[in-house]
Amino acid sequence: MSQRDVKRTVLGKTSRRGFLKGAAALGVAVPALAKAQQTKPGSGRHRIFAYVGSYSRPQGPDNSIGRGQGIYIFEMNPADGALVQREIIRRDTNPSFTALDSSRKHLYSVDWIADYQGTHSGSVSVYSVDRASGHLTLLNTVSSEGANPTHLSIHPSGKFVLVASYFGGTVAVLPIHENGELGPATDVVHDQGTVGPARAASAPPGSFAISGHDHPHAHMVLPDSAGRFVFAADLGLDCIFVWKFDAEKGKLIPNDPPSVALPAGDGPRHFAFHPSGRWFYSLQEEGSTVVAFDYDPVHGRLTAKQTVSSLPKGFAGSNFPAEVMISSDGKFLYASNRLHDSVAWFSIGATGTLAWRGEEWTRGDHPRAFNFDPTGNFFYVCNQFADAITTFRINRTTGALTFTGQYTPVGSPASIIFLS
């Protein structure tokens, strides 16, 4: 029996969807159960907090309903991976994606909206972090200079936040003041190019995965480890833009070449640098592929060398990959699949090429983002439509994921990061 068949026969003859409904019902009882059986993960000196961004407005992405309440703060038990809710920072601005600065004193969040101060733009908010309790205090909010910002990152200099706005099709540079607050953008780039076709060139047979090929959609922005170059994936234009970064003025300067093309219609969404800095991996939302590149850090150039599917061999139908990450030891790459509702993992060879190693059902619907905990022993998946985070133990030798049985209720979870 295949793993997919096993998923459909969990709990006797219960279907996969039926199981999810049961899990959702169980989720109602989980808070009370957690309160009754709650341990004290913070009783020692070392505390690990998790921040979960959510969709908190009636209208979320993918025509979904946002059932979140803001930014959730959990404390993680490093012994078993359990998450104990400590607080909710209530925000109705869809604080879906967050990042901590290198000092761990400030947390930055996109606000996935398009009506900030009456403009057709979203916003970015910054909070001070109480290291003892994990509590967040809002410092200020500024325009993201584009509608519905979906991703942000912090430049290695610690002086700028880079933000990608999906519906605005923009990448903006926001200066960070000495107190952690943000200032107005020092640069805004409007993605330009030819919009790709509605159907992906690399999609699996029978796929009807169509989404963002109507105009530019900046989906992710990230500098390389040295901060010399900045990269941004545009799903609608099927390319990854590359800029040189002026860290004195906060300006983006087109690189030579200024972009790297992906197959027509495949829709690059998220990407990851290997810890070695030698390789770069791009995940395509509509093509359901991972493309491996060699990276030249001197000239900021990407050279494609391999394309693999994010789905198991023989899969047919629609799927929307969401997140790609690499383990801290650089041995494995993980990618989430929405609709297929799985996380696939690959081993990374000596030359940076990928080899399929397995896939695991996320025990939830629409796995949007995931992350590793600071110990490297646990793996957390944000199942957006199932309103739950599921926890897995990682086999550090094989990369395999094993479900721990833990469901953590969160309305419309979008992302999770850790503070330790």
pLDDT, tens digit (0-9, with 9 covering 90-100), for 255-294 = 999 999 999 999 999 999 999 999 999 999 999 999 999 9
Distance CA 196, CA 237 (A): 6
Query: Which residues, in sequence order, are CB contacts of 394 under 8 Å at separation 6+?
Result: 327, 372, 376, 377, 378, 379, 400, 401
Q: What is the mean pLDDT of the chain?
A: 91
Q: What's the residue count for the chain? A: 420
- Nearest partner of 342 among 320, 316, 372, 327, judged by Cα: 320
Checking DSSP bridges between strand 251-261 and strand 268-273, what pairing results, if any?
unpaired
For residue 12, is it left (φ>0), alpha (ψ between -120 and 50) or beta?
A: left
pLDDT, tens digit (0-9, with 9 covering 90-100), for 200-254 = 999 999 998 887 899 999 999 999 999 999 999 999 999 999 999 999 999 999 9
- Nearest partner of 73 among 93, 100, 111, judged by Cα: 100
Distance CA 325, CA 332 (A): 9
Share of the chain above pLDDT 70, in %: 89
First to last CA, the chain: 41
In the block, tokens 């297929």 appear at 340
One DSSP character per residue, 130-159 reads -TTT--EEEEEEEE-SSSSEEEEEE-TTSS
Cβ 157 vs Cβ 228: under 8 Å: no
Tokens of 168: 């605005």
Q: What is the pLDDT of residue 3?
A: 38
Distance CA 215, CA 237 (A): 7
Q: Tell me the residue type at 29.
A: A
Share of the chain above pLDDT 90, in %: 86
- pLDDT surpasses 50 at 4: no
Question: How confident is the model over 11-30, as a mean pLDDT?
Answer: 40
- pLDDT surpasses 70 at 30: no
Distance CA 147, CA 403 (A): 37
Cβ 362 vs Cβ 342: under 8 Å: yes
Distance CA 211, CA 222 (A): 23
DSSP percent split of the chain into helix, strand, coil, nearest 5: 10, 45, 45
Checking DSSP bridges between strand 401-409 and strand 413-419, what pairing results, if any?
unpaired
Dihedral (C-alpha) 315, 317, 323, 329: value to the nearest 10 degrees? 0
- Nearest partner of 336 among 308, 301, 366, judged by Cα: 366
- Nearest partner of 254 among 167, 154, 183, 187, judged by Cα: 187
User: Would you give the DSSP letter of residue 206?
Assistant: T
Checking DSSP bridges between strand 149-154 and strand 136-143, what pairing results, if any?
unpaired
Domains of the chain plus CATH, in order, are: 48-419 (2.130.10.10)
Q: What is the pLDDT of residue 41?
A: 64
User: How many other C-beta atoms lie within 10 A of the C-beta of residue 306?
Assistant: 18
In the block, tokens 């997919």 appear at 4
- pLDDT surpasses 60 at 358: yes
Cβ 298 vs Cβ 316: under 8 Å: no
Q: What is the pLDDT of residue 45?
A: 59
pLDDT, tens digit (0-9, with 9 covering 90-100), for 374-398 = 999 999 999 999 999 999 999 999 9
- Residue ranges of alpha helices (H) inside 234-372 are none
For residue 132, is it left (φ>0), alpha (ψ between -120 and 50) or beta?
A: alpha
Residue 271: how many CA atoms within 13 Å on its side-chain side?
Answer: 31
Say if residue 156 is preceded by a cis peptide, omega within 30 of 0. no
* 3-state SS, residue 81: coil
